[in-house]
Amino acid sequence: MAENTEQNEAKHESSPSPGMTDQEKEIAASAYEAFLAGQYDESLKHLEALQEVNKEDYKITMNRAVVEFYKSDQTTTGMLKQTLMAMKNQVHTSAEDVDGLDDVENSLLYYNQAIIHYHLRQYSEAISIGEKLYQFLEPFEEKFAQAVCFLLVDLYLLTFQPEKSLHLLAVLEKLSSIVGQGYHRKIILASQSTQNTVYSEGQSAAIPVASMEFAAICLRNALLLLPEHQQQDIKTENSSKSSSQSGSTESGSENSDACSGKGQDADKFLSAAPSSPLRKQEVENLRCSILACSAYVALALGDNLMALNHAEKLLHQTKVSGSLKFLGHLYAAEALISLDRISDAIAHLNPENVSDVLMGILTSDQDQGSDKGDEPVESSGKQTPLCYPSSVTSARAMMLFNLGSAYCLRSEYEKARKCLHQAASMVNTKEIPPEAILLGVYLELQNGNTQLALQIIKRNQLLPLVVQRVSPDSGKKPIQPFQSVNPIQLPSSFTQVQRK
């Protein structure tokens, strides 16, 4: 692998640079073609001619050393090392002095030194040079940046550091492209959704794989297969009319009552061939689940408009469970924030939107009993995932954390701070997500409280409000625990959102 990397380096070095004249570019191209063809003597002649034209460019000397190294069947490693050391002294730089890498072209010399250390099994020296180069990876040419990463992966494996190799491989997998030139060159990382579209070699794209795209297709088909609301409403109206007509007639026989009871039970079921018939409430629950999953998948794929559409349809369902309603508001808010509609997102992040977080199927009895009291229904029975709130209080705290983030996007830091500390007072310290702690650090830095931000980082927990922010009158009264969250007044419409 190192040999191939070194060969790639020689190719890159032989390529013409932007400051060369047309004559120099032509000679460099001829030397490069001869090197690729294995005609090392001819390549050396072209490099000698190129050095006569430009005697101050040390890269030509380095290319000659590399070609001579290949001409000797890669046996003169010591001689190549001496040449590189002499060139390093010539440019008066060393890898230890690399702090900003002002002259990016010198990095090629360091890389070749790392290759020599690799062949001499001096892995510590090679890693030291490679890690310094990795710190300034963005300005490099794409192939050269990949060569540095692969060399470090090789070195980490040889020195029994697989965890560092995995980190570099993850970076290489996410590397989508590089834009810009020179010092303005930036690395573009692929989003998580694009990682799901990769098919293994030899596998047809027609064969479904576990990806977000395939999930979107399945969910779209599921919605199409469900019966429409209008058909169900027509059946319901017909059944209600027939029941009212039968009630007006004077028929008190038990047989007729039994027949009417059977008819009403039959109307409660819908065909779901080839499966068993489904109750109407089961169909509604299934529709809500499909809409929630569709909103999540659309967000993962970056389709914010479709995610917002699914989330709003979910919230408009008449018999949506509390857990799915909670997720619907979160998904709608996330889509709206991505669309720069922060005011609309704040409306969805109102903590009063959370009435219960019951994870389960909503039955008709639960639906009838939902109006029998204003107390929120707590989650019962089943063990909920760690990422899901276990109670209404935790869910409202999560809403407030997200509401604070939304206010930050509009630079309303005082409102964001209030939301953050209200949410922190509602849950246990261990239940505060790390994103909320980072939000607290960001708010303190925006307010100029550097020391307080450092304390939050060191303690890894949110700190109470500073005494100076509390009014004198409020200091006489003890702070009451947060029970019912009153939504903060929505600010007026804005014209521009400044993302941080």
- Domain with residue 335: its CATH number is 1.25.40
Residues 350 and 464 in one domain: no
Residues 308 and 441 in one domain: no
In single-letter form, the type of residue at position 79 comes to M
- Domain end: 154, 189, 224, which one? 189
Residues 74 and 122 in one domain: yes
Would residue 352 count as lying in a domain? yes
Query: DSSP readout, 29-66?
Result: HHHHHHHHTT-HHHHHHHHHHHHHH-SS-HHHHHHHHH
Contact 349, 331 (CB under 8 A): no
Would residue 498 count as lying in a domain? no
- Helical pair 58-71 and 2-14, crossing angle rounded to 10 deg: 140
Q: What is the CATH number of the domain that holds 37?
A: 1.25.40.10
Query: What is the Rg, in whole angstroms, of the alpha carbon atoms belonging to the chain?
Result: 34
Residues 8 and 119 in one domain: yes
Residues 222 and 171 in one domain: no
Would residue 489 count as lying in a domain? no
Contact 142, 178 (CB under 8 A): yes
Would residue 308 count as lying in a domain? yes
Distance of CA 341 to the CA centre of its chain: 20
Domain count within the chain: 3
Residues 100 and 142 in one domain: yes
Distances in whole angstroms, Cα of residue 126 to Cα of each of 67, 111, 114, 155: 22, 9, 4, 8
Would residue 491 count as lying in a domain? no
C-alpha neighbours within 13 Å on the C-beta side of residue 53: 16
Candidates 352, 5, 339; CA nearest to 148 is 5
- φ, ψ for residue 273, nearest 5 deg: -60, 145
SS3 201: coil
Contact 345, 336 (CB under 8 A): yes
Contact 497, 410 (CB under 8 A): yes
Residues 334 and 420 in one domain: no
What is the number of other CB atoms lying within 10 angstroms of the CB of residue 384?
16
Domain containing 321 equals 216-234+266-361
Residues 149 and 93 in one domain: yes
Peptide bond into 274 cis (omega under 30): yes
Residue by residue, pLDDT tens for the chain (500 residues) are: 444 444 444 444 444 454 567 778 888 888 888 888 888 888 888 888 887 877 777 778 888 888 888 888 777 777 877 777 777 666 655 445 544 444 556 777 788 888 888 888 889 999 998 888 887 776 667 778 888 888 999 999 999 888 888 888 877 776 555 555 555 555 555 554 444 444 454 555 556 677 888 888 899 988 888 877 544 454 555 555 455 444 444 444 444 444 444 445 545 777 766 677 778 888 888 899 999 999 999 999 989 999 999 999 999 988 888 889 999 999 999 999 988 899 999 999 998 888 887 765 555 554 444 444 344 444 444 454 456 777 888 889 889 999 999 999 888 889 988 998 888 888 887 778 888 888 888 888 888 888 888 888 888 777 665 433 334 443 444 333 333 333 333 333 332 333 33
Residues 8 and 138 in one domain: yes
Candidates 118, 7, 131; CA nearest to 69 is 7
Residues 118 and 66 in one domain: yes
CA–CA dist 384, 392 (Å, integer): 13
Residues 45 and 133 in one domain: yes
How are beta strands 269-270 and 278-279 bridged, if at all? antiparallel
Contact 481, 425 (CB under 8 A): yes
Residue 385 contacts by C-beta under 8 Å, 6 or more apart in sequence?
A: none
Please state the length of the chain. 500
Would residue 196 count as lying in a domain? no
Would residue 246 count as lying in a domain? no
Would residue 80 count as lying in a domain? yes
SS3 27: helix
Residues 101 and 184 in one domain: yes
